[in-house]
Amino acid sequence: MSNPSENLPLAGMAALVTGGAGGIGRSTARLLVADGAHVVIASRNAGHLQEVADELGPLAAESGGSIRWTACDATDSDQILAAVSLAAEPAGRLDMAVSVPGGGVMAAVLDYEPEQVAETVSFNVVVPFIMIKHAGRHMADAGGGSIVAVSSTSAIQSCRFLAPYCAGKAGVDALVRVAADELGDRNVRVNAVRPGLTATDTTQGLANNDSVVAQYLEQQPLQRIGRPDDIAGAIRYLAGPESSFTTGQFITVDGGHTLRSFVDFTDVVAARAQS
């Protein structure tokens, strides 16, 4: 009798998720494990990684996949190279790689220091670049694979008080397009997901602000903010074989927010300046 887990769509495949201890990374790892993948999650916080691994362990046992973790800095090229090698061990190759980390601080364009701009743009672009470099090389040598970066609706909209973050995420989109173009003939696909406002640990200041949420909902056809599972579902599609003819593309998961206008963070910035 065949093992039911052998029929799962990702059975025997290997994946690496950086930012795997956070909301989107955790949800992504759960979907990958549930479909039979051998998943390594990575972030700086070993304690949170262990919590996720403990949570997903029973699911991995049921699906025939596995969940492991490694503490690493997504901006450190050597550490990501080691994480790629670790993730490839169960299958002898790396099939899927997901780069989640990103972020920035709010300020007016005239108030940012050049060093803040450089740091924010660099962080948002260099993190997925390092993943593409090491995961992409491994996949190209092994016959192919899929890389997914997390971008943002800020890449395509003007977001007041988030100029460096917008520039960084626009850079992610440009990086994804070029990488997809260069790596396609090696059967390596590169895509991205653009989340709208999504309730995670890093966005709770906005997601719990009634005024900000009201502005978002006023500009959205779908009347709720995003959940990590919403973003993870799009990542799972782009990472897996279901999207085998898709590369250099972007799935915007924002409740339709980009159909209208971005919110104004003037009040948020003013409140933070007074605190």
Beta pairing partners, 194: 252
* Residues catalogued as catalytic: 165
Q: Using CA atoms, how far apart are residues 261 and 79, in angstroms rounded to an integer?
A: 39
Q: How many degrees, rounded to 5, is the angle at CA 103 between CA 99 and CA 104?
A: 155
DSSP E strands in 3-110: the ranges are: 14-18, 38-43, 66-71, 96-99
Type and span of the H or E element at 194 = strand 188-195
Q: Is 164 in contact with 121 (CB distance < 8 Å)? A: yes
What is the phi-psi region of residue 71: left when phi exceeds 0, alpha when psi lies from -120 to 50, beta otherwise?
A: beta
Instruction: Find, among 57, 52, 17, the residue nearest to 34 by Cα.
Output: 57
Q: Do strands 188-195 and 66-71 pair parallel, antiparallel, or not at all (unpaired)?
A: unpaired
Type and span of the H or E element at 93 = none
Type and span of the H or E element at 96 = strand 96-99
Q: Do strands 14-18 and 188-195 pair parallel, antiparallel, or not at all (unpaired)?
A: unpaired
